[in-house]
Amino acid sequence: MQEAFGKDNIRVNAISAGPIKTLSARGIKDFDVILDVVEQRAPLHRNVTIKEIGDTVTFLFSNMSNAITGEVIHVDNGFSSVCV
């Protein structure tokens, strides 16, 4: 399918975000524990913010990412790079 989009110069990417404090996240049991674990184990020792996710989206929509397609970009302060 990507080839069909590529011929029209359409790029397809995804963002895999770390856990974010949102209104809906409040409904997840022990969500604060998840945030604590990410903060402890992520290489940058903090949780991702909504702004950081938005900054990545802005980059992907910009001309600065013209040669990027078919990628999943992890925006999780490195948590996805460590085995849990």
pTM for this model (two decimals): 0.85
Residue in 7, 4, 17 with CA at minimum distance from that of residue 60: 17
The predicted pLDDT at position 4 comes to 79
Residue in 60, 58, 55, 53 with CA at minimum distance from that of residue 74: 53
| Residue 82 located in a structural domain | no
Number of domains making up the chain: 1
Question: pLDDT below 50 — which residues of the chain?
Answer: none
> Could you list the residue range(s) of the whole structural domain that residue 38 is in?
2-77
| Residue 51 located in a structural domain | yes
Distance CA 25, CA 32 (A): 9
CATH number, domain with residue 68: 3.40.50.720
The predicted pLDDT at position 34 comes to 95
| Residue 16 located in a structural domain | yes
The predicted pLDDT at position 84 comes to 54
Residue in 52, 65, 61 with CA at minimum distance from that of residue 16: 52
Residue carrying structure tokens 């989009």: 5
- Alpha helix segments (H runs only) across the chain: 2-6, 31-41, 50-61
